[in-house]
Chains A and B, each alone.
Chain A
Amino acid sequence: MMGCWVLNESLSIVLVLSWLGVNLYLFIDTFYWYEEEESFLYTRVILGCFRGPWRRQLDKNLKFHKLVAYGIVINATIHIVAHLFNLEHYHWSQSPEAEGLVAALSKLGDTPNETYLNPIRTFHTNTIAELLTTIAGITGLLISLALILIMTSSTEFIRQVSYELFWYTHHVFIIFFIGLAIHGAGRIVRGQTPESLLLHNITFCRDHLEEWQAQCPVPQFSGKEPSAWKWVLGPMVLYACERIIRFWRFQQEVIITKVVSHPSGVLELCMKKRDFKMAPGQYVLIQCPSISTLEWHPFTLTSAPQEDFFSVHIRAAGDWTEALCKAFGVEGQPLKEPWSLPRLAVDGPFGAALTDVFHYPVSMCIAAGIGVTPFAALLKSIWYQCCEAQTQCKLNKVYFYWICRDPGAFEWFADLLLSLETKMSEQGQAHFLSYHIFLTGWDENQAFHIALHWDENADVITGLRQKTFYGRPNWNHEFQQVAFSHPSSNIGVFFCGPKALSKILQRMCRVYSSADPRGVHFYYNRESF
């Protein structure tokens, strides 16, 4: 059972594990470098490391981005706490009570011809003042604040409350990366120079302070070069390239070929753009300069690649989408002339294609609520590829499940299903697509109405030939039925919707896949936003 899940996710697991492995190796390598390297022996002495017991998938891109962010936060916390202790120790080493090697090391640099080791030069200061007079301190404080602001405005709750706040605050990362690159410019962490190491034998000299003028010439130190910029330069360049590409695409013309205003405030935009190639399941970023010059919003594509235009369905659910719907004349506004429509810029398409559907002989597509949008593109694409074109298609049966609380906002999708149903039965392929709609938000009045019309041929709410069910699907029953009808096939299960249902479906896939390699096997794929 476990094997099925592991195999499905195996590629992303391997990538994440290798990334974690590289990070772990780098951390351990750098730690030991500071621990063993001779040039840092005296640094370790002052910091008290000898004392005391303490001596620290390109489409799963969003998940990876969050993983990296959490990694940065954890490492930043460790870094900050460690340096807090370091500053205290540096400060204390300058106090009159410090003695022995630590005191001698701290005094280095007071006379001319000596290089200093302890970045805090006197006891008559406090750690805050020391922090705020160094580049490392100021940049460190600034970028920590930037990181915290980004984190608090990126929680799922805030993204729902105001996507714009999340979007704009996130751009503070520019301050973060610039600060990070110059964070080490002050070269506070100092190590013994190689020439000094040759002259000053640390194994002998560290225990023989009295010889320091005679046998042991005074050790010389230099600051460690900043190295963070080497790590961030690559990704920063890549990101800059991406923004340049987006700017170039912004300049490209987008022609709006059709604007449809669907019930319940849904706007359908059909557009054309030069050299635009898409696959079902992908999304685009749309900007409307007349509404906002800085915001790009993601929308799943709802048209099939075989059509000569691409379309998105937009529902007014926030500031920007409401403004867009108004600008395009939705719901009661006077009809707009084509030349008065606002200009749009489109970047994309991005995202994983749902084309795996075609690799299985049988596919189950499950959409919950707004997760139905990628399936609009997919079902249309299936129609073009498997029903209309006379080409041989590996896929020969599609089960589609649509779970929806309120069908009002998705009447356009019901229309799509109706037209597919008609077209398929015209082609004699009525059995190809079997769909089941589940309305989970029904009330008593609706129930009466439905019960009275139960015996009619078409469904009373959607007008479709297959009846709508009320309440949530019984997945055990559904999977059993499908497994029974296709006893020795590989069945792809594609889902788009909330996490809770995803877990249930994954479990169903495991439970109903047979142990026999020739038996029925369910392979789970999840499309996520």
Chain B
Amino acid sequence: MGQIEWAMWANEQALASGLILITGGIVATAGQFTQWYLGAYSIAAGVLVCLLEYPRGKRTKGSTMERCGQKYLTRVVKLFGPLTRNYYIRAFLHLGLAVPAGFLLATILGTACLAIASGIYLLAAIRGEQWSPIEPKPKERPQIGGTIKQPPSNPPPRPPAEARKKPSEEAAGIPTGGPQENPMPVNDEVV
């Protein structure tokens, strides 16, 4: 259990809690329960939690599966800098958001779930984890002519492939040499 990244689980738990808060809030508001205004609060808190937690953070080891369409929210969450990067802040934010919903029965489950998520985030923060955005890799522009190692230095007709130097057998295939034996030393541009 030593290697586990607790923040990943905290993120799933918090996202689920957000959805539960929204559901409980809708039930209380639509049913016009006593103190239904807490239900309205719970919907707002749930939406905030969902928006914050939807973009998954990057794992420290290995590749991370992105959630569908999360890159737009990643940009927004990234803007807040240390406020969203630091898990201590997230832990206390979730705890704070959870408390008012605890006074209404319909949302008490959401409170409990969000409180648990807050606890897991606290554990993640103590272990030094932080949120880093998943950035798309910059597309590598294909360099025109980048694969041409060395243009032929002799005019045609040039000797065919068999006359080329055989590469060494044990190399995994780093190509060596130019197209033919040259009387003058020619520099090899190895990619």
Contacts and interface: CB of A to CB of B under 8 A. Distances in A.
Bound together: yes
Interface of A: 77, 80-81, 84-85, 87-88, 91-92, 126-128, 131, 141, 144-145, 148-149, 151-153, 155-158, 160-162, 164-165, 168, 318-319, 444-450, 452
Nearest to B102: A128
B98 interface: no
Contact of A148 (B4, B5, B16, B171): B16
B124 interface: no
Contact of B13 (A92, A127, A144, A152): A152
A14 B5 CA distance: 42
Interface in B56-72: 56, 59, 65
A127 B116 contact: no
Contact of A85 (B16, B31, B59, B174): B31
Given A84-B27, A148-B109, A164-B4, 19 more contacts: A88-B34, A92-B34, A126-B34, A126-B105, A128-B105, A131-B108, A144-B109, A145-B116, A148-B16, A148-B20, A151-B16, A152-B9, A158-B9, A161-B8, A162-B5, A168-B1, A319-B2, A445-B173, A447-B173
Contacts of B143: none
B59 A128 contact: no
Given A80-B109, A84-B27, A157-B12, A91 B59 contact: no
Given A77-B23, A91-B34, A148-B20, A84 B105 contact: yes
A161 B173 contact: no
Nearest to A151: B16
B119 to A, nearest CB: 12
A321 to B, nearest CB: 12
**Range class of the B interface residue count:** 35 or more
A157 B8 contact: yes
Contact of B172 (A84, A162, A446): A446
Contacts of A149: 13, 116
B33 interface: yes
Given A91-B34, A128-B105, A141-B112, A152 B4 contact: no
Nearest to B105: A127
A165 B56 CA distance: 18
A448 B174 CA distance: 8
B104 to A, nearest CB: 8
A161 B109 contact: no
Given A84-B27, A161-B59, A162-B3, A448 B109 contact: no
Interface string B70-112: 0000000000000000000000000000000001111011001
B122 interface: no
Given A126-B34, A141-B108, A165 B16 contact: no
B147 interface: yes
A257 to B, nearest CB: 32
B167 interface: yes
Nearest to A450: B173
Q: Nearest 4 pairs between A and B by C-beta?
A: A449-B173, A162-B4, A127-B105, A152-B12
Contacts of B12: 152-153, 155, 157-158
Nearest to B115: A145
Interface of B: 1-5, 8-9, 12-13, 16, 20, 23-24, 27-28, 31, 33-34, 56, 59, 65, 103-106, 108-109, 112-113, 116, 147, 166-167, 171-175, 191
A158 B116 contact: no
Contacts of B109: 80, 141, 144-145, 148
Contacts of A144: 109
Greatest chain B CB density within 10 A among A84, A91, A149 is at: A84
Contact of A449 (B1, B59, B65, B172): B172
B188 to A, nearest CB: 14
18 contacts: A84-B31, A87-B105, A88-B33, A128-B108, A141-B108, A141-B112, A145-B112, A148-B16, A151-B16, A152-B12, A153-B9, A153-B12, A157-B12, A157-B65, A161-B5, A161-B8, A162-B3, A445-B172
A143 to B, nearest CB: 11
A415 B167 CA distance: 26
Nearest to B61: A161
A405 B43 CA distance: 46
B174 A128 contact: no
Greatest chain A CB density within 10 A among B3, B13, B33, B173 is at: B173
B1 A164 contact: yes
A144 B8 CA distance: 21
Contacts of A157: 8, 12, 56, 65
A444 B13 contact: no
A149 B112 CA distance: 11
Nearest to A127: B105
Contacts of A448: 173, 175
A526 B46 CA distance: 40
A318 to B, nearest CB: 8
Contacts of B27: 81, 84-85
A480 B52 CA distance: 50
A105 to B, nearest CB: 20
B189 to A, nearest CB: 14
B1 A162 contact: yes
Contacts of B174: 445
